[in-house]
Chain A
């Protein structure tokens, strides 16, 4: 299957700092990328959908000014958690979709711990 990478895989940071997470599709062009968040023992919750070259569409309850998403190319999307707080500690997972159809390929996830 298609390969999606995320970087970094782990982040530990102090409260108030900003953290950038990269999501790359390695062997296909991703017209759409999705950002999810998963808290312990809970399901994946979609945060936002981004299409290359346009603004991201955020789900209800997700602050767009706090979670900045950029999808500047067909192989790269970034999520920046601005002024991170301990409650932002979570498992952030991106997925990418190459074209038609519903198949999404997931990245390995980024664990964020805000102290």
Chain B
């Protein structure tokens, strides 16, 4: 089983809608999680860190559920510019980031 698993999608969502993705992890000795965004043929860019208490950054809300071992990302009022692949990333205390395969999101006008 992969350490970090995501539904690859694609998710095709109309502009203005709310969309949510989950990511599950298998290593309970996790320390931190992040959501990265990767545009086509570009490098990943940090979107936000994920905290157990939940954190919000504008239209984006991230949540970590340690008991069920999943991370979520909610995007409200989606924009065309939100179209990208969203990568769930875990840091398990071994200096390395572990990437999920990514969830592809397309916002439709």
**Interface residue A77 (Cβ < 8 Å from any Cβ of B):** no
Chain A contacts of B25 at CB under 8 A?
A: none
Chain A contacts of B99 at CB under 8 A?
A: 43-45
**Interface residue A61 (Cβ < 8 Å from any Cβ of B):** no
Total A-B pairs, Cβ < 8 A: 41
| Binary interface encoding of chain A residues 30-48 relative to chain B, with 1 for a CB under 8 A from any of its CBs, else 0 | 0010100000011111100
Q: How many residues of B contact A (CB 8 A)?
A: 20
Chain B contacts of A106 at CB under 8 A?
A: 43-45
Chain B contacts of A102 at CB under 8 A?
A: 31-32, 34, 91, 97
Bound-state CA distance A103–B47 (Å) is 12
- Within B87-102, the residues touching A (CB, 8 Å) are 87, 91, 95-102
Q: Pick the contact of A93 from B8, B43, B95 — CB < 8 Å? A: B43
- Within A75-105, the residues touching B (CB, 8 Å) are 91, 93, 95, 102-104
Highest count of chain B CB atoms <10 Å: which of A1, A45, A95, A103: A103
Q: Quick check: A34 and B96 within 8 Å, CB to CB?
A: yes
